[in-house]
Amino acid sequence: MNPLSRDQIASAARIVVKVGSSSISGESADQIGPLVEALAGAHARGTEVVLVSSGAIATGMPYLRLSDHPSDLATQQAAASVGQSLLISRYQASLDRYDIVAGQVLLTAGDLENATPRSNAQRAMDRLLGLRILPIVNENDTVATHEIRFGDNDRLAALVATLCGADLLLLLSDVDALYTKPPERPGAEPISFVAHGDLLPGMEFGSTSVNSVGTGGASTKVMAARLAAAGGTGVLVTATTLAAEALRGDRVGTWFEPRGTAGSPSLVN
């Protein structure tokens, strides 16, 4: 099968959508409803949808009376243990409106780096999708260690997209696109297209953000997008609030061309 082009997004057969903690927890918890609505729209078209969702630690933090993201691994694990089931429950409550059933999939880096657990994960994901279940994937924070952690769910999403043979990876965050420099700086311009192999010369990344509920940043999204694109998956980076538009194929966000497709004329809008 030929890799997906940007004009074919709405017809993608299998997609992986990644959403970050800051987009669906805390004051943004009400964004779960619109996000699920967007996913349900794609699901109704017959698309197989996988959601990679951060947020277990952030969801558990209030129950541990934590105001800031914990820095020590043990507390992160405790918060994730409390938060993961609550997070899945919130998603399922929203999915119930569309008669969609969620399936929880927790992975560690080791699961996708070793042949046997990788094969098991792939088989389980394929079966869930074949049954029209919507898998919700997260890192298994409760058992992960510093040595084997993905570091951020952007990379996890790219690995899952490759595992599943997804046509499209949609990376969602609080920003509508990638910019030539941090968007709050003067002169920052949105990037609409990144050709496969483009190293983005002159692009200035801010430091990877570590806010009160999660980690991430433009640099992690670029690295994840390149990883998925190298595996033949088209990648779109945009804001969580634009998920519906993105899945309809509207011209939003930044498109990373997958390996094996023709080039495009423009880098910056």
| pLDDT at residue 2 in the model | 82
Range with the poorest average pLDDT among 24-28, 107-111, 115-119, 244-248: 107-111
Residue 53 marked as a ligand binder: no
Is-contact 169 18, C-beta < 8 A?
A: yes
Residue 114 marked as a ligand binder: no
| pLDDT at residue 100 in the model | 98
Give the phi and the psi of residue 90 in degrees, each rounded to 5: -65, -40
| pLDDT at residue 150 in the model | 61
pLDDT at 263 over 90: no
Residue range 6-256, CATH number: 3.40.1160.10
Residue 71 marked as a ligand binder: no
Residue 141 marked as a ligand binder: yes
Residue 18 marked as a ligand binder: yes
Q: Where are the domains of the chain?
A: 6-256
| pLDDT at residue 166 in the model | 97
Q: Tens of pLDDT along 48-73?
A: 999 999 999 999 999 999 999 888 88
pTM of the predicted structure, to 2 decimals? 0.90
| pLDDT at residue 216 in the model | 53
Confidence of residue 151 (pLDDT cuts 50, 70, 90): low
Q: Tens of pLDDT along 167-191?
A: 999 999 999 999 998 888 899 999 9
Average of per-residue pLDDT values in the chain: 88
pLDDT at 234 over 90: yes
pLDDT at 213 over 70: no
Burial of 116 (0-12, 13-18, 19+ CB in 10 A): exposed
pLDDT at 140 over 90: no
Residue 153 marked as a ligand binder: yes
- What is the arithmetic mean of pLDDT over 146-153? 61
